Structure formats: structure tokens, C-alpha cells
């Protein structure tokens, strides 16, 4: 382990030079041996492979088989086969295009930040892309730099690194160059090492690269992600089940109808044509396309609301989430230390909101002057540079009207005694009009012990703020005639005058509390998982409403000591997990899943990535999230806002409801078509040769035009305003639960009987009129039936006008229907004849019947059965 060796030993082992770095001639040799400083990605499928995979659906296979056999048996009937193949290819192209679009969104996010690194080579300083680093490179680290790879610290001048992305610890770590003797040292305690994807917040230093790419700690986590398989989502599973059921039923019914037609005296060729028509009737060709487009539209809406979805079905998955496991730092909180409490002898403990009395303002001036942080304005934005604790002090002083540069005009900064972890203090000297002033800030108990006027209640105030999970600092001053010749800390930091205390915390995001309450109303449990201290985690969780009475918080150590059986039993009682490791997060997610819950996991750090991949849906932060985290996630929140997740849940629930409406609409239509053809075949057995009521081209037209247009419109139904008051769907709930399967069956039977009746009436005149009446009845009944399905309320409910797309679909569908039936040439392609007013009105009357029938059923369900 490099942390167990001296820096000289590490430099010698890596055959480098601390002062001059590597020689340019060595770079390529080392890179060939150790690889590049990049994370490997899972091999992407080619567009051709993606295209072929679109044809694995059972329904698509049946359609292709029907088209091929049809053209082989009767080459003259090539139009129907061509239309079927065109439909299949169009669906495949649409699927590939949508998949590529999602991948490009992720690539764009990755390119938003391509970090560079300051490196010493040949004794000179260069700035190079981080991916070009090799083992043995000597890298310069300064405040604001992203650590480019794992390495051993060679020099540290007050160097502090924020490792929250890797360890979950919210406070920066003080880095050293000394040897660490401890064996098997935890990652968070390897203070002489720096790790890729962490950020330098304060000071400066120098490191030598020890590993690159997949060998880094980040790379090891990336390997975990690549080795784990992603489970399919509930929507994918349910649609696959529907496809299999329809496929099996389709083949079975086709065989039966073929036998019935052959038994009634028709030839094998005529019987086969009827079977092909039935296959086309049974398969909802537009279902896959409609579902894909409805999901795509939902994704587009979510992008406008700061959420990028990488996989379309993930929208629905989030909508069915019942547990959200959230990282604390940067997700529930602002990832920015903020002053929230103050204490002065005169005023006691007060809430800090940017306003305050003279004593508080003077205290904040002292804290600001005794810091190295800066507040700058660039391009109209305020930027805080330096240690998070010190930037919080400078920002608090600025809120009270004091800029640090203005304070320097009053007092000129001189010598200082730097902070160290042993003294826990920092002292700065200033030249003022009243002589030399020393300002000391640091640990409250240390400062109070060295002051001559510590208030009696200061110690109680310190304890009270600490119990609220605040990080407490004290400040004191001392006046001098001149700066001491020897800056001896034990002499200088003594006999001081106590000024006051501040309490700081990484505060919750203001919108998160409301979002968590809304989630709670929707039956969604929020769990906090963090690498931070348990006291801090509990305070934040209680404030947000995550940790309630009867629930508890535990640490990663306590979790490790629990067996799976114990955790399974206690799981419902635990709302907060603190000081956890990446494997703990995966275990927590897995345990909730074992209880039948759909789990969403949010996070921004590399340490969150395995859990994001394991969860049913992983939500990564787009701003603070690492590339590894984004690659593991199903959804990326571009505003790093927890509230966006709840909006996505709402959108997901709405999309799922709309897809159920589409499935109900399309399947009832297809069942109606099957009943029409199957019914005619059965009647033919009794000596009434009715022929084929509808040709494949008619059925394709209905399935792709007059059905698909309203289906798209139903997919755009506005989300119900009370949808977040509903409980999440059970993970294993059938897609046809709550009577949906029965509803589809009887509505399909209704459409089939009406269509077959219209056909029989027209067929008594001649076959062409009968076929045209059946075609008109089936097409128009579907256009009208869409209004029945848009809501469980009456068609005359006030929401009837809230979907302009549905009215547009009705108008366009009827116009197309008139063109197909009455325009010469076009009606010939479809084997249709113009209907006179008598038969047209009969067909229209049958088409309107579904509205009357469904209205009666709704009346019984909504009024009589509720009493």
C-alpha cells in the first residue's frame, strides 16, 4: 500500500523524480504498460444489431411470418404483405432512433466537463488533459482543482480535499505527506493519498500518480457496475407478457379459423387468406409504436423539467416507486456549509438570517478577517473560493453588508500562525489605527479555555448547538503594541478576549421538505443514506420529516453487524443510515426490493453508483454527479433537485395510466376485429357463407390510422391532479388488475358484434357493401370509443374538452375515412364502394352505439354500485 511507504520510496518505486517529474520519452512506454487514465465503458451495440433486436417481439415475428407465407402462397396479393413489412420496419426504425437519442443526451452530459491537469514533466510545468496522465506523473494541486487520478501526496501546504463524492464525508479532509503506519487503513483515513473525482477545496500541494483509469478507486467501483446485470423494468415485463399472450392466442385462433373455413367448403388458399386476416386483426401493430411515442413524449416533458431519462421504460418505473433511498450531501442538502446560529455574551443564541445587531456583525467581521476564503463576482455570479467552513463565514459577513476587501482597507493583514490539527486554532495579525490586533478562531473548548472573559453560558451554548448537529467555531481577539518577535502559539494564543460563537451546517434544500411530504402522501417512503456523522444525519432527517417518531438512525458499523434476517425484520423502522460504505447502500436497496418494493436511489458521488445500478431506477445528479454515477443511472437530474424526482414520479404515474388507456383502447379494438372475422367463420359452419368481412389491408388501416391517432391522443391525457394522493402500485400487480382485463374483453365483444351486424346487413345486398359497412362501423366506433376510455367519468363530464389532441384525432380520422371510402381510385385499392345515405347512416348508428352502452355501464359503476 502506497500510504504505508515514505514519499521517497514511492517516487523511487515508480521511477519518477519529485522535482522534475517523468521524462517525455518515458510517457508512451508507461502508458502502454499501465493503460490510459480513462474509465472503460461497456461495449455499445451497433445500429445494425439494435435494428435486428427490434424484431425479437413475438407479435412482430408472427406478422413477418404471415406476410412471407401470404406472398409465397399467392404472389398476386403482394400489397397486403408489403404493407405489413413496411409497418414492421417502421416500428424498428423508430425504436432504434429513440434509443440513440437517449444515448446522445448522455454523451452531451459527459462532454460538459473535460478536466485538465497541471503536471511536471522534464522539469517544466504543463497543462494537459487528465486522460493523458500516466503512473509516475507529478501533479500540482491547487484550490478548485479536480483530482485527476489516485496518487500519493508529496507536499501539502494546508491542503484540504473534498472527498464526499467518494466517501460521503461532507467535510474536507486535511492531507499530509507523512507515512501512515496503520495497516488496512480505511479509504477515508488515508490522509496521505488523493483520489480521482475528488476536489481540492483549500491550500496547495503536490502528488505522484500511483494508479490510473480502472485501477483507481473510482475505476474499481466502475468495474462493479459493469459486472452487474440490469433487471428489466415492470413495464417491459408487462408489455412482454401481453405480447406473448396475444401471440399464442393469435396462432391458436388462426389454426381454428383455418380449420373452420376449410370445413365450411372453402379452398386451402381461401382459408389461409382468412387466417392471415385474423392474424393481422389479432395483433395490435400500433401498440409498440404508441407506447414508445407516449413514453418519448413523457421524456420530453421531463427534460423541460430538468430530468433526462436514459431509458424510456424507466419513466413508468419511477412512477411505481414506493421507496426513495437518497444520499444526503448535495441531494437533500445544498452541499454548502452555512451559518445558522450565533452566540454573543450580550445576546445569547440567535438564529442567523443575514441580519443582526452590532455585536453579531463585529463578530462576523472577526471570523472573516481570520480566514483565507474569498468571495468574488464573475459574469454576474457570486463565487466562493476556499475551505467550505471559511467560505460560510465570509458569506455570512457579506450578508450583513461587509465585504472582505473593504475590511482590508481598515485593517492590513500581517503575520499569521497557521491552523494545525493539534492546536485546533488559527491566528492572524492585523495593523489597525489602535495598534496590532490578533484574531484567533478555532475549536470552542480550546478558545474558551484561553480567554480571560469567557461568559458563563458560553459552554452551554456550545453544547446546545453541537447537539443540534451544528459545527461550532469560536473567535477571540487580543491587542498588542507590536507583533511579537517570536510567533510562539502558546504565548500568542492566550489571555484573549472572547468574542462569540457561530454554528454552521450543510442546510437542507428549501424545496426538499415539501417534496418529501408530497411523496409521503403518495405512499412513498424516503430513506436517507449518507457517509456523514449520525448526529448530523439525524438532525437533517428530523428537520425534513424523514426521521419520525418510532423510527431510528443507525451507522454503517451497526448495519454490518446485523444479519440479513435481523435487517429484514428491522428495515421498516430504520429511516437513516449514516457512515455507510458503497456495499451498504447496495444491501439496503436489495433488502427493500426483497420486501416487494420498487426502489429509487438518488445520489451524486461515485460511492452511490453501485446502488444506483442495483435500484429499480437510479437518479444521478447532473451538476455535481460524476461520469460514473451518470453512467449507472436511469435518470439524470440536471438541476440536482430532489423535488424533481417527485415531479418525475407524478409524471410517471400519469404516463402509466395513459399507457393502460392505450392498451385498453387498442386491445378492445383488436378483439372486436377478431370477433368479427371469427364470428363470420362460425356462422359459415351453419350454411351461411358470409365470406371474409374485412381484408388484411382494412385491418392494417384501422390498426395504424383510425386506432393509432386516438391512441396517441389518449397518451397525451393531462395527469390527474389527485394522482399523488394514490398509493404506489404493488410491484407484482397485473397490468390487467382492477377489472381491466374483463373491461377489454366485453368492450371488444361489443365492437365485434356491432361490426359483424353491420356486415351482415350490407352483405345481404352484396359483399362489397357489407365489407364497406363493416369497415366504416369498425373505424368510426373506435374514434368514438376513445372518448369513453379517456376517463372513468361520463363522456359529458367537464374534462371532455381538456384534450384537444383527441378532438383533433376524431376530425382527422373521420376525414381520412371519407377519403378512403368515397374518393375514386383510393377506394379501389381498399376494395370498398361508396355507400348511399341509408347504409352510411346505419353504419354511423352502429358506430355511435359504444358511447350509449359504455355510458350505461359507467352509470351503474359510479352511482348504483357505490351506494
> 3-class DSSP state for residue 527?
strand
Question: SS3 breakdown of the chain: % helix, strand, coil, rounded to 5?
Answer: 55, 15, 30
- C-alpha–C-alpha distance, residues 851 and 593, integer Å: 43
H-helix or E-strand containing 153?
A: strand 151-162
- C-alpha–C-alpha distance, residues 363 and 397, integer Å: 9
CB 166 within 8 A of CB 197: yes
- C-alpha–C-alpha distance, residues 655 and 294, integer Å: 7
- C-alpha–C-alpha distance, residues 867 and 863, integer Å: 7
Helices (H), 640-693: 642-684
How large is the greatest C-alpha to C-alpha distance in the chain, in angstroms? 122
Helices (H), 545-581: 556-560, 564-570
836 tagged catalytic: no
Phi and psi angles of residue 502, each rounded to the nearest 5 degrees, phi first: -125, 145
What is the per-residue DSSP string for 422-435?
TTTEEEEEEEETTE
Q: How many CA atoms lie within 13 A of 391 on its CB side?
A: 19
Q: Cell 517516487 belongs to which residue?
A: 11
- C-alpha–C-alpha distance, residues 580 and 617, integer Å: 20
- C-alpha–C-alpha distance, residues 343 and 573, integer Å: 36
Paired sense of beta strands 471-480 and 435-442, if any: antiparallel
- C-alpha–C-alpha distance, residues 79 and 866, integer Å: 52
Q: List residues bridging with 476 in a β-sheet.
A: 440, 498
What is the per-residue DSSP string for 795-864?
TTSGGGGS-HHHHHHHHHHHHHHHHHHHSTTHHHHTT--PPPHHHHHHHHHHHHHHHHHHHHHHHIIIII
Phi and psi angles of residue 389, each rounded to the nearest 5 degrees, phi first: -65, -45
User: Which grid cell sits at 866?
Assistant: 357505490
- C-alpha–C-alpha distance, residues 58 and 662, integer Å: 20
Q: Which of 327, 634, 640, 707 is catalytic?
A: 327
- C-alpha–C-alpha distance, residues 493 and 594, integer Å: 58
- C-alpha–C-alpha distance, residues 762 and 861, integer Å: 35
Return the active site residues: 327
Amino acid at each position: 500500500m502506497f500510504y504505508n511507504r515514505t514519499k521517497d520510496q514511492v517516487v523511487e518505486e515508480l521511477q519518477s523524480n519529485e522535482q522534475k517529474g517523468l521524462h517525455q520519452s518515458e510517457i508512451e512506454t508507461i502508458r502502454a504498460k499501465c493503460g490510459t487514465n480513462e474509465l472503460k465503458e461497456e461495449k455499445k451495440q451497433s445500429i445494425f444489431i439494435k435494428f435486428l433486436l427490434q424484431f425479437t417481439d413475438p407479435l412482430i415475428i408472427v406478422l413477418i411470418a404471415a406476410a412471407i407465407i401470404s406472398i409465397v402462397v399467392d404472389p398476386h396479393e403482394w400489397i397486403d404483405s408489403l404493407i405489413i413489412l413496411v409497418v414492421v420496419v417502421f416500428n424498428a426504425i423508430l425504436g432504434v432512433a429513440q434509443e440513440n437519442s437517449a444515448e446522445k443526451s448522455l454523451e452531451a452530459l459527459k462532454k460538459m466537463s473535460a478536466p485538465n491537469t497541471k503536471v511536471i514533466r522534464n522539469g517544466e510545468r504543463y497543462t494537459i488533459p487528465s486522460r493523458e496522465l500516466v503512473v509516475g506523473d507529478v501533479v500540482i494541486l491547487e484550490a478548485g482543482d479536480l483530482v485527476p487520478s489516485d496518487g500519493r501526496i508529496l507536499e501539502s501546504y494546508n491542503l484540504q480535499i473534498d472527498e464526499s463524492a467518494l466517501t460521503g464525508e461532507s467535510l474536507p479532509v486535511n492531507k499530509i505527506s507523512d507515512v501512515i503506519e496503520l495497516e488496512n487503513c480505511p479509504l477515508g483515513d488515508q490522509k496521505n493519498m488523493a483520489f480521482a473525482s475528488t476536489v481540492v477545496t483549500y491550500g496547495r500541494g503536490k502528488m505522484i500518480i500511483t494508479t490510473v483509469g480502472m485501477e483507481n478507486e473510482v475505476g474499481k467501483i466502475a468495474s462493479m457496475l459493469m459486472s452487474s446485470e440490469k433487471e428489466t423494468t415492470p413495464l417491459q415485463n408487462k408489455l412482454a407478457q401481453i405480447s406473448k399472450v396475444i401471440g399464442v392466442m393469435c396462432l391458436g385462433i388462426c389454426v381454428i379459423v383455418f380449420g373452420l373455413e376449410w370445413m365450411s367448403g372453402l379452398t386451402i388458399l381461401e382459408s389461409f387468406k382468412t387466417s392471415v386476416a385474423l392474424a393481422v386483426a389479432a395483433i395490435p401493430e400500433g401498440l409498440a409504436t404508441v407506447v414508445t411515442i407516449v413514453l418519448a413524449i413523457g421524456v420530453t416533458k421531463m427534460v423541460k423539467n430538468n430530468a433526462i431519462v436514459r431509458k424510456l421504460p424507466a419513466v413508468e418505473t419511477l412512477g411505481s416507486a414506493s421507496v426513495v433511498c437518497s444520499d444526503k450531501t448535495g441531494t437533500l442538502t445544498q452541499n454548502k456549509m452555512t451559518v445558522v446560529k450565533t452566540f454573543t455574551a450580550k445576546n445569547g443564541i440567535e438564529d442567523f438570517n443575514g441580519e443582526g445587531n452590532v455585536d453579531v456583525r463585529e463578530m462576523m467581521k472577526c471570523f472573516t478577517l481570520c480566514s483565507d476564503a474569498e468571495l468574488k463576482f464573475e459574469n454576474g455570479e457570486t463565487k466562493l473560493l476556499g475551505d467550505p467552513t471559511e467560505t460560510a463565514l465570509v458569506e455570512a459577513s457579506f450578508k450583513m453588508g461587509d465585504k472582505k476587501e473593504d475590511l482590508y482597507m481598515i485593517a492590513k493583514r500581517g503575520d499569521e500562525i497557521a491552523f494545525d490539527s493539534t492546536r485546533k486554532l488559527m491566528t492572524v495579525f492585523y495593523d489597525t489605527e489602535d495598534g496590532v490586533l490578533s484574531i484567533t478562531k478555532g475549536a470552542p473548548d480550546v478558545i474558551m479555555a484561553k480567554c480571560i472573559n469567557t461568559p458563563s453560558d458560553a459552554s452551554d451554548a456550545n453544547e446546545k448547538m453541537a447537539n443540534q448537529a451544528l459545527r461550532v467555531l469560536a473567535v477571540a481577539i487580543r491587542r498588542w503594541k507590536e507583533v511579537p518577535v517570536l510567533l510562539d502559539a502558546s504565548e500568542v494564543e492566550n489571555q484573549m478576549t472572547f468574542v462569540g460563537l457561530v454554528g454552521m451546517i450543510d442546510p437542507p434544500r428549501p424545496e426538499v421538505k415539501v417534496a418529501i411530504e408530497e411523496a409521503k402522501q403518495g405512499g412513498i417512503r424516503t430513506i436517507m443514506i449518507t457517509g456523514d456523522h449520525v448526529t448530523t444525519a439525524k438532525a437533517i432527517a428530523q428537520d425534513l420529516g424523514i426521521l419520525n417518531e418510532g423510527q431510528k438512525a443507525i451507522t454503517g458499523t451497526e448495519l454490518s453487524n446485523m444479519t440479513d434476517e435481523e435487517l429484514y425484520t428491522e428495515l421498516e423502522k430504520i429511516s437513516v443510515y449514516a457512515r455507510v460504505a458503497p456495499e451498504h447502500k447496495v444491501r439496503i436497496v436489495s433488502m427493500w426490493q426483497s420486501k416487494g418494493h420498487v426502489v429509487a436511489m438518488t445520489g451524486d458521488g461515485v460511492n452511490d453508483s453501485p446502488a444506483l445500478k442495483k435500484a429499480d431506477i437510479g437518479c444521478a445528479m447532473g451538476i455535481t454527479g460524476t461520469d460514473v454515477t451518470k453512467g449507472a443511472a436511469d435518470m439524470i437530474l440536471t438541476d440536482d433537485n430532489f423535488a424533481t424526482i417527485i415531479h418525475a414520479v407524478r409524471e410517471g404515474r400519469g404516463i402509466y395510466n395513459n399507457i393502460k388507456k392505450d392498451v385498453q383502447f387498442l386491445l378492445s379494438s383488436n378483439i372486436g376485429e377478431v370477433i368479427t372475422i371469427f364470428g363470420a367463420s362460425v356462422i359459415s359452419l351453419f350454411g351461411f357463407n358470409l365470406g371474409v368481412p374485412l381484408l388484411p389491408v382494412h385491418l392494417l388501416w384501422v390498426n395504424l390510422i383510425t386506432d393509432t391517432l386516438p391512441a396517441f391522443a389518449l397518451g397525451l391525457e393531462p395527469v390527474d391532479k389527485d394522482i399523488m394522493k394514490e398509493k404506489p402500485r404493488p410491484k407484482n400487480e397485473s397490468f390487467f388488475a382492477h377489472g381491466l382485463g374483463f373491461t377489454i374483453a366485453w368492450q371488444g365483444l361489443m365492437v365485434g358484434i356491432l361490426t359483424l351486424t353491420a356486415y351482415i346487413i350490407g352483405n345481404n345486398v352484396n359483399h362489397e357493401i357489407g365489407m364497406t359497412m363493416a369497415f366504416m362501423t369498425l373505424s368510426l366506433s373506435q374514434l368514438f370509443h376513445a372518448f369513453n376510455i379517456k376517463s372513468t367519468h361520463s363522456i359529458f363530464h367537464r374534462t371532455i374538452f381538456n384534450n384537444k389532441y383527441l378532438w383533433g384525432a376524431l376530425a382527422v380520422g373521420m376525414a381520412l375515412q371519407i377519403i378512403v371510402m368515397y374518393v375514386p381510385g383510393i377506394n379501389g385499392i381498399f376494395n370498398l364502394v361508396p355507400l348511399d345515405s341509408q347504409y352510411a347512416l346505419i353504419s354511423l348508428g352502429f358506430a355511435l352505439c359504444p358511447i350509449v352502452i359504455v355510458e350505461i355501464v359507467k352509470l351503474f359503476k359510479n352511482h348504483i354500485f357505490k351506494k
